[in-house]
Chain A
Amino acid sequence: MFRTVGVVGAGTMGRSIAEMLAVKGRDVLLVEKNGKALDTSLELLEASLDRQMERWAITLAEKKLILNRIHKAASLQALADCDLVIEAASESLDIKKKIFESLDRYLPQSAVLASNTSTLSLTELAGVTRHPERVIGMHFVYPAYRIDVVEIIRGLKTSDQTFEQTKQFIEQVLDKKSIMVYESPGYVTTRLICLMINEALLLLSEGVASAEDIDLAMRVGYQFEHGPLEMADRFGLDAVLAALERMFREYGELKYRPSILLKKKVRAGQLGVKTGSGFFRYNKDGERLS
């Protein structure tokens, strides 16, 4: 079932998905249009495996096996033999449309084309392909190797067969829980978590509580692994902002309006873990310093 999987985009999410797929024993072709970015991404991926090794999650032999399953690919054309392609490029409709148009051309009709989009319209993406019935959404939660839930998004034309295949793959091969959602900006996970993050930002900017205390309250009080502000740092503040703006535009409701503080942070280039600082500070391994 989906033995060779293509992953388009080697950013935070694409890398995390590629790593998870390789851990689960699949061969992965990782595509990134910028060759240098691809190399950097693979270095980061290896660093992530090293961290897992330090935490005793995998052995050295397992690390080597996992790395051997991940192959660099220079173009979308190289994915022609994949059984499944998961697109995890930037959250821009135009970029994604172009990718799906190409994938549709290069891959046989039996292959499933999935997008990891969290807010864009899947039906619109599928619209650029000749076979929209094989287009589906697979929305992973970061980090994909640790978080065991996936939202499966059905576009208007996604076939039952595509859905069943995807669901089986997620549950049996990836060993994750799946929830089925219909197309709607943010689905369940992004919509709920971004609203909470945004509300936490408002609390912070109103001076109601400190960043540490807001996070502490949610971590201890409601058993979150990280508080909402650290979560935002880990997702990337730019990604959170993009998701909120998208939902604000789609729903037109004020509750989705991104807090000014978030915009300010993004403009200042403090994007969270990936830049070393956001609401808290981090080392290059993503461990929190303060």
Chain B
Amino acid sequence: MNILVINSGSSSLKYQLFDMNDESVLASGRVERIGMDSSILSHEAAGKPEVREVSEILDHTSAVKKMLDMLIHREFGVLHSIAEIDAVGHRIVHGGEAFSESVLVTPGVKEEIRKLFDLAPLHNPAHMNGIIAVEVNLPDVPQTAVFDTAFHQTMPPYAYMYAIPTVLYRKHKIRRYGFHGTSVDFVSHGAAELLGRPLQELKLIVCHIGNGASCTAVMYGKSVDTSMGMTPLEGLMMGTRSGDLDPAVVPYTINKEDLTLNEVNSMLNKHSGLLAISGISSDVREILQAIEEGNEQARLAFDMYTYRIRKYIGAYAAAMNGVDAVVFTAGVGENSAVLRQKVCEGLTYLGLLLDDKRNSIRSGEPRVITSDESKVAALVVPTNEELLIARDTYRIVCREKQKISSVDEGGTAIGD
């Protein structure tokens, strides 16, 4: 079965085509600058040269059409016809309280995703464009929605409620939702496998440190707390996001600097974090480079960045009354040995003993980076959200097929 995974942004669309027989990636690519006359499609298929094509792509429907044309292209393509695509899985950032797992896209599901536009104004409308574009181009192919928030729906109310008037929760659903759920879910399973123990008896702290960054307490396979909140702004310090701060800072700054809502939002999301403190970059690699050159501001930025990760690990160890493993994942978490070292050097009280040699090995494989005597393990487990979306989609589509064949042999068949 071939499954296409789509991550649709406001002016971009990323895709990967999986063959679920062996979970291999047949092709992947992205369309950028949708809505302009010089949109760029880059596409790469296994064993074939990468192609880039510039053309006018005015909306998501044309972007999906272009992508499909490329998948069946006689030179660069991998399929004979688009009928070989059995299902499409979409990444959706915000599932609110409505979705605690991946679902088949139905009119009701679309309606729910629309209702969540307010909570994720930058993401959900773009995802919806992606769903509709696929509907137009592949009318009979089942689609699924996989939510970044779904994995965290297991948090107890004492972890997800904010201590503000409850009317705000009732009226506007203001609460902690958490993000990176798909990644945390994937990585937790990988960690259990690596440790050779069932996930159901493990207490894990997953640090997803990429462009956005979050920590999640995963207890017995379920998310019990996570650092991102109603939006991805809360929690850890990030490349350009502030993370936690005293909420009173916001109205105070608005008043002192005479800022509009848009300005203060943009300040906290795009002009803060590593970029603001270092004054040079939002990229950890460049920060580390600058530290080597003696840049004190860069050092402060990195110290703050790692200190906050460590604080969250401490908090979640307390939240779960213990921890079996700290798991690093995503761009920075997987690749920066210096970051992992800096975070872990203050965790010896937990019984976490980093093995410098293991930590410094560069590899794309899941690995243990603590010494054999360490009571608490530290792991690096590369994330793969697309694969998890493909797996979920595969599972849902197979289940639906079974349902249909068992309920009504002659009923409406889902495109095969």
Determine if B259 is an interface residue (Cβ-Cβ < 8 Å).
yes
Query: Pick the contact of A146 from B35, B260, B264, B270 — CB < 8 Å?
Result: B260
Residues 102-159 of A contacting B (Cβ, < 8 Å): 146
Judge whether B266 and A57 touch: CB under 8 Å: yes
Assembly CA distance A3 to B266 (angstroms): 25
Residues in chain A near residue B58, CB distance under 8 A: 3
For residue A92, CB closer than 8 A to chain B, the reply is no
Contact check, A25 vs B267: say whether CB atoms are below 8 A apart.
no
Considering only residues 20-54 of chain A, those with a C-beta below 8 Å from chain B are 25
Chain B neighbourhood of A57, CB < 8 A = 260, 262-263, 266
> Nearest chain-B residue to A55 (Cβ)?
B263
Of residues 49 through 70 on chain A, the ones whose CB sits less than 8 Å from some CB of chain B are: 55-59
CA distance A3 to B260 in the complex (A): 28
Asked if A55 and B259 make an inter-chain contact with CB atoms under 8 angstroms apart, the answer reads: yes
Contacts of A56 in B (CB 8 A): 259, 263-264, 266-267, 270-271
| B257 interfacial contact with A, CB 8 Å | yes
> Within the assembled complex, what's the spacing in Å between the Cα atoms of A59 and B262?
13
A3 partner residues in chain B, CB cutoff 8 A: 58
A25 CA to B35 CA, complexed, in Å: 9
Closest to A56 in B: B267
B258's nearest neighbour on chain A, judged by CB, is A55
- The answer to whether A59 and B260 touch across the interface, beta carbons within 8 angstroms, is no
Kindly identify, within residues 247 to 268 of chain B, every residue whose CB is under 8 Å from any CB belonging to chain A. Answer: 257, 259-260, 262-264, 266-267
For residue A25, which residues in chain B have a CB less than 8 angstroms away from its CB?
Answer: 35
CB-defined contacts of A146 to chain B, threshold 8 Å:
260
Q: How far is the CA of A55 from the CA of B253 in the complex (A)?
A: 11
Residue in A57, A58, A146 with the greatest tally of chain B CB atoms within 10 Å: A57
Specify which chain A residues have a CB less than 8 angstroms from the CB of B270 in the assembled complex: 56, 59
Interface string of A212-236 (1 = CB under 8 A from B): 0000000000000000000000000
Asked whether A58 lies within 8 Å of B266 as measured between CB atoms, the reply is yes
User: Which of B35, B257, B266 lies at the interface centre, i.e. has the most chain A CB atoms within 10 A of its CB?
Assistant: B266
Task: State the Cβ distance, B74 to closest chain A Cβ, in Å.
Answer: 32
Cross-interface CB contact of A59 among B35, B264, B271, cutoff 8 Å: B271
Nearest residue (CB) in B for A53 is B271
Residues of A within 8 A of B271 (CB): 56, 59
Report the bound CA distance from A57 to B263 in whole Å. 4
Minimum distance in angstroms from A195 CB to a CB of chain B: 27
- Distance between Cα atoms of A55 and B271 in the complex (Å): 10
Contacts of B35 in A (CB 8 A): 25
* CA of A25 to CA of B266, assembled, Å: 17
Question: Closest approach, in angstroms, between the C-beta of A26 and any C-beta of chain B?
Answer: 10
Instruction: Using CB atoms, name the residue of chain B closest to A62.
Output: B270
Nearest-CB distance from A233 to chain B (Å)? 17
Contacts of B259 in A (CB 8 A): 55-56
- Identify the interface centre among B58, B257, B264, B271: most chain A CB within 10 Å of its CB: B271
A25, A56, A57: most-surrounded residue (chain B CB, <10 A): A56
Contact partners of A58 in chain B: CB under 8 A = 266
**Nearest chain A CB to B10's CB is how many angstroms away?**
10
Complex: A56 Cα to B260 Cα, angstroms: 10
Give the most central of B257, B267, B270: most A CB within 10 Å. Answer: B270
Find the A residue at minimum CB distance from B271. A56
Q: Identify the closest chain B residue to A69 (Cβ).
A: B36
Could you tell me which residues of chain B, from 219 to 249, have a CB within 8 Å of some CB in chain A?
none
Interchain nearest-CB distance for B252 vs A (Å): 15
Q: How far is the CB of B254 from chain A (nearest CB, A)?
A: 11
Residues of B within 8 A of A59 (CB): 266, 270-271
B280-329 with Cβ < 8 A to chain A: none
| Complex CA distance for A144 and B199, rounded to whole angstroms | 56
User: Shortest Cβ distance from B367 into chain A, in angstroms?
Assistant: 35
> How far apart sit A1 and B271, CA to CA, in the bound complex (Å)?
31
Q: Which residues of A contact B257 (CB under 8 A)?
A: 55
Q: Tell me how far the C-beta of A74 lies from the nearest C-beta in chain B, rounded to whole angstroms.
A: 22
Residue of A with least CB distance to B275:
A59
Whole-angstrom distance between the Cβ of A22 and the nearest chain B Cβ:
13
Complex Cα–Cα for A55 and B254 (A): 11
> Please, which residues of chain A bring their CB within 8 A of the CB of B262?
57
- The digit string for B82-110, where 1 denotes a CB below 8 A from any CB of A, is 00000000000000000000000000000
* Shortest Cβ distance from B260 into A: residue: A146
Alpha-carbon separation in the docked complex, A3 to B262 (Å): 24
Of chain A, the residue at the smallest CB distance from B262 is A57
A146 to B259, CA, bound (A): 11
Contact code string A2-29 (vs B, CB < 8 Å = 1, else 0): 0100000000000000000000010000
Closest CB in chain B relative to A171 CB, distance in Å: 15
CA distance A146 to B262 in the complex (A): 10
**Closest Cβ of chain B: how far from A205's Cβ, in Å?**
30
Closest-CB distance, A3 to chain B (whole angstroms):
8
Known: A56-B271, A57-B266. 9 other contacts (CB 8 A): A25-B35, A55-B257, A56-B259, A56-B263, A56-B264, A56-B266, A56-B267, A58-B266, A59-B270
List 10 A-B pairs, Cβ < 8 Å.
A55-B257, A55-B259, A55-B263, A56-B263, A56-B266, A56-B270, A56-B271, A57-B262, A57-B263, A59-B266
The 7 closest A-B pairs by CB, nearest first: A56-B267, A56-B271, A57-B263, A55-B263, A59-B270, A56-B266, A57-B266
